[in-house]
Structure 1
Amino acid sequence: MSQTPEDRSAAFHHDPDEKPDNLEVLAVRITAFGGFDKIKVEKIELPLEIPAGHVEVKVHACGVNFADLYMRQGLMRNLQPPLTLGMECSGEVSALGPGANTLKVGDRVICYQLSGGLYQESVLVPQEACFLLPPQVPFEVGAALFVNYLTAYFSVLDIGNLQAGQTVLIHSCAGGVGWAATQLAHTVPEVKVYGTTSREEKHAAVKENGVNKVLDSQNYEEQLKQVEPKGVHLIVDSIGGANFLKSQRLLKPLGRAVLTGASSMLNNDRKLSFWDMLCVWWRTKSISPTEMINESKVVAGLHLANLLRDDPVRVRQALQTLFSMYEQKLISPKIDSVWPFEKVVEANKLLQERKNIGKVILKPLIK
């Protein structure tokens, strides 16, 4: 049932006589688009009245994604600071607004919002932005699973249509999506996985995760041609820009290249302009329909948030499949590190500088 404003006030304040107009929660904010200096951790106010169709979620863990870095640097064109960062979190439903009838207080959930707003101690989100988290999945794993593993699932097993005995090249194989894509590729029999990384210290970990041969991200094209001169069947590319043109060249006939991101844009610590985006678009746009026909190749893209908007049933079905895989120990999200909100800049730098192996997690409090 819905909680009254007095119920929520009591949950936040131990003094029953205290009657605040709003509830204060800790949040990770940006004051303007730009570098790491624009990130602030501060108290903000939540309204006592929960909007219709919304629920309140007490946040336990937040996933750090490249999309959060894009938002900080001004690439989410429909948003304006000041705003709260964070597109992915897990937690527990603590209150219900009017008309919120698909969840109940105490439900464990994953929350996802392209517009951000989830790096907070508690959040108010539409009930459709919540996904039930099975009891056997820890909160930190839940925060590591949604974005990375759904992106990898659709790229490798759905759009990518990886088949037994085929070969796949996974860029940034030590990152969250790359780690997930490697594991999902090996749910298909006799698949060979090639992975790129720029750091030699990551080689042992990605090999243990299932990468059969690690390639240096600076000269992977030449290295791959030596072992697969005719190319590979599938490439998962989260880098974009000029790199995606290389990916297309490395496909076998009937091969598929799936573009999932544009991390190549994030090589600085400032606000990115329309010109920056135009340059990356120009380097990425060179897809020739004639070449695709003549060479029998497939080029595809994936935008998880738009897919969720346009086909939520399909995304929820894929998520249930991932939960089943987790229970069967076919997949195992790797947590690189867990940081308190106060260390959000260090956590963001870790991701932007590609120093992580697996998922970077933020928590409001670390006990």
Structure 2
Amino acid sequence: MARTVIIEAHGGPEVLKLVGRPVGDPGPGELRIRHMACGLNFIDVYQRTGLYPMTLPAALGMEAAGVVEAVGPGVTHVKPGDRVAYAAQPPGAYAEARVMPAAQVCPLPDGISFDEGAAMMLKGMTVHYLFRRTTPLKAGDTVLFHAAAGGVGLLACQWARAEGITLIATAGSDEKCRLALDHGAAHAINYRTEDFVARVKDLTGGKGVDVVMDAVGKDTFDGSLNCLKPFGMLISFGNASGKVPPLDIGVLAAKGSLKVTRQTIFTHIADHATCQQMAQELFDMVLSAKVKIRIDQRFPLAEVAEAHRALEARATTGQTILTL
């Protein structure tokens, strides 16, 4: 039996329940992993609330790090005893141990701790696809990144600095703005006290930015479009403030032949070889110290509801993990 966090109904943090579940043995293409730490992400909140509906009852959690206990037939890239980390479907990472598909589970280098591995996979590979796979970006380009003091944001600030990209950060307090600047943002805007559209136009001499990376959603979407230069791209990859309303596609023409895309990590990592390559490039960035994993909050697995409350209240910075 392994302690596992499940939900039996969609709702607030109070629906999270810690139960004992049998683990079993891996079948073809599967492995059994003993977790050492689990990551916390906004997608977990979306699934809990029903924004992303799930078949209930359901286990939650999309990323973790630990040790392989057993592998099923056909699994050759990892073996029992290996240190590994993952961000992958299906949910179920909030657990002491689990059986899961092996394809997206990645060998974890010795130079990266289990806590770092659990904190970095989903957010780090998200940053990877934002900067390397969604639209061409090169040194000298300018990016606007919303909620830049969060887990994805602080990684993005460092990634942009390492690749010579000018990143303009937004955050909800002066303290969070300083955090983004400390991690590599070229400029930071407190969206609670400043009009971020006007400030972006001022910073770019009225031209706008090449790309906006927006996981906030409803509250920032229209402003994000207004920050783009002609032919610029808005990359939407989350809905922290709520779902974006339907879009009149003609608006994109009127604002300068703009492009909009809605991305998800799980499309990018669906192919085994691509996932492993993305993870290796992420690990290389961390091992080279170009990107450092900042873990600002740790909650015991039994306090997962408190962890969700803190995340939803935007009371967290950097990464948050659940300890076992």
**Structure 1 and Structure 2 fold alike (TM over 0.5):** yes
Farther off after superposition, 173-182 or 252-261: 252-261
Task: Provide the rounded CA distance (Å) in 2 between the counterparts of 1:300 and 1:226.
Answer: 26
Tell me the TM-score normalized by structure 1.
Answer: 0.82
1:297 and 2:273 are equivalent in the alignment: no
What is the match of residue 161 of structure 1?
A: 136
For 1:223-242, what aligned pairs fall within 5 Å after superposition? Answer: 223-228=199-204, 229-242=206-219
Change over 3 Å in CA distance of 1:284–1:168 after alignment to 2: farther
What is the match of residue 254 of structure 1?
A: 231
1:320 and 2:320 are equivalent in the alignment: no
For 1:182-261, what aligned pairs fall within 5 Å after superposition? Answer: 182-189=157-164, 191-218=165-192, 219-228=195-204, 229-261=206-238
What is the match of residue 272 of structure 1?
A: none
Task: Provide the rounded CA distance (Å) in 1 between the counterparts of 2:11 and 2:73.
Answer: 38
Percentage identity across paired residues of the two chains: 30
1:287 and 2:264 are equivalent in the alignment: no
Task: Provide the rounded CA distance (Å) in 2 between the counterparts of 1:105 and 1:50.
Answer: 12
Task: Provide the rounded CA distance (Å) in 1 between the counterparts of 2:196 and 2:251.
Answer: 25
Code of the residue aligned with 2:170 in structure 1: it is T
Change over 3 Å in CA distance of 1:202–1:126 after alignment to 2: same
For 1:50-65, what aligned pairs fall within 5 Å after superposition? Answer: 50-65=26-41
Partner of residue 76 from structure 1, selected from 52, 59, 66: 52
Question: Which of the pair is proportionally richer in helix?
Answer: 1
Contact 2:29-2:102 at 8 Å conserved across structures = yes
Task: Provide the rounded CA distance (Å) in 2 between the counterparts of 1:54 and 1:158.
Answer: 28
What is the match of residue 353 of structure 1?
A: 313
Tell me the TM-score normalized by structure 2.
Answer: 0.92
Task: Provide the rounded CA distance (Å) in 1 between the counterparts of 2:58 and 2:188.
Answer: 39
Structure 1 position 288, deviation (Å): 3.0
Structure 1 position 99, deviation (Å): 4.0
Partner of residue 137 from structure 1, selected from 109, 112, 116: 112
Query: How many equivalent residue pairs?
Result: 321
Contact 1:156-1:236 at 8 Å conserved across structures = no
Q: Secondary structure at the match of 1:59?
A: strand
What is the match of residue 68 of structure 2?
A: 93
**Structure 1 unaligned residues grouped into runs of 5+:** 1-23, 266-279
Code of the residue aligned with 1:302 in structure 2: it is Q
Task: Provide the rounded CA distance (Å) in 1 between the counterparts of 2:73 and 2:8.
Answer: 32
RMSD: 1.9
What is the match of residue 12 of structure 2?
A: 35
1:25 and 2:2 are equivalent in the alignment: yes
